């Protein structure tokens, strides 16, 4: 088992009394019994001018300073202008200006560095541990952006490391991230197909495959809804997954619908959790009308300014 979570505010103005980061963390804490190995958040902020948010894994201890210098030197070599840096947990966050092609940059640096995410709005923060232990290390509670997705992981097919925690960025494509509960059984077939089309992978985690698959489909001029629909035919297995983009959260569920996903919607927001207890945690004492998407369905919820 794993747990997925999502939160999207429909408009810039709302009356909800928790930060986006705190709300997602409460959902994760309520469903941590579904996976206690690692957790993570993909958070979307309003863009700042034309700058990129870049995040990289770095080692702990004395090696961190050396790796930080190496990241700076590598990015500078590839015409990235670094404006600010911040170390959080096992990652280095960078605000930077870059006018080139992001996919080309990723191909150039991925064998030297360990990117977590790159985007104008996206910032992925993830680590080994439980939500209430990890969230303070990454200042998740201070995040109060437009939307985000999050995940608790029970490791099955790959090791327990920050790199294999969810969410996953669609490597080389700005602002696309996924979380997933289930298993993609045709992972290697789909991965080889995508690699032949020039796509790259950082791990052997099947959730990363979903992100890369959707990004590739959209690079071929499919809309996100069309890519979600296509995934129901192309991805085998049992799964419920969420994908986030700069202004939306989408989902898909396989034909068996063995992996749960519950949704609550009101005039201000959309909330998604693997179990109803995660949504109830945000609205204590209230009777909520929740729904669960049907088997072999997909959907998209978008923000309106």
- Catalytic positions, written as ranges: 2
Query: 3-class SS at 273?
Result: strand
Burial class (CB in 10 A: 0-12, 13-18, 19+), 20: buried
Name the 3-class secondary structure at 272: strand
Q: In this structure, are residues 202 and 211 in contact, taking their beta carbons and an 8 Å threshold? A: no
Residues 6+ apart with CB under 8 A from 189: none
User: Following DSSP, what letter does each residue of 13-25 receive, concatenated?
Assistant: ----SS-HHHHHH
CA-based max dimension of the chain? 56
Return d(Cα 217, Cα 200) in angstroms, integer.
14
Residue 61 backbone class (left: φ over 0; alpha: ψ -120 to 50; beta: rest): left
Cα angle 19, 22, 28 (rounded to 5 degrees) comes to 145
Q: Count Cβ atoms within 10 A of the Cβ of residue 50 and give its class: 0-12 exposed, 13-18 middle, 19 or more buried.
A: exposed
Exposure on the CB side of residue 194, measured as CA atoms within 13 A: 26
């Amino acid at each position: 088992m794993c747990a997925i979570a999502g939160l999207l505010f429909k408009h810039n103005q709302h009356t909800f009394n928790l930060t986006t980061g705190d709300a997602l963390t409460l959902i994760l804490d309520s469903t941590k019994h579904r996976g206690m190995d690692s957790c993570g958040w993909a958070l979307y902020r309003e863009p700042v001018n034309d700058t990129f948010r870049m995040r990289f894994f770095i080692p702990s201890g004395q090696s961190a300073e050396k790796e930080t210098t190496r990241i700076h030197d590598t990015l500078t070599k590839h015409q990235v202008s670094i404006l600010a840096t911040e170390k959080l947990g096992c990652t280095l966050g960078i605000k930077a200006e870059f006018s080139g092609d992001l996919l080309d940059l990723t191909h150039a640096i991925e064998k030297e560095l360990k990117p977590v995410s790159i985007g104008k709005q996206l910032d992925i923060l993830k680590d080994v541990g439980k939500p209430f232990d990890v969230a303070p290390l990454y200042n998740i509670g201070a995040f109060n952006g437009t939307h985000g997705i999050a995940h608790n992981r029970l490791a099955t097919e790959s090791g327990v490391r920050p790199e294999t925690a969810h969410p996953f960025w669609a490597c080389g494509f700005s602002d696309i991230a996924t979380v997933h509960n289930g298993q993609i059984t045709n992972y290697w077939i789909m991965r080889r197909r995508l690699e032949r089309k020039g796509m790259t992978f950082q791990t052997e985690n099947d959730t990363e495959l979903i992100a890369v698959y959707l990004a590739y489909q959209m690079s071929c001029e499919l809309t996100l809804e069309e890519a979600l629909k296509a995934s129901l035919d192309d991805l085998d297995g049992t799964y419920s997954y969420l994908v986030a983009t700069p202004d939306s959260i989408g989902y898909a569920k396989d034909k068996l619908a063995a992996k749960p996903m519950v949704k609550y919607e009101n005039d201000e927001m959309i909330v998604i959790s693997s179990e109803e207890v995660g949504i109830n945690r945000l609205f204590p004492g209230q009777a909520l009308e929740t729904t669960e998407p049907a088997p072999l369905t997909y959907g998209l919820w978008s923000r309106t300014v």
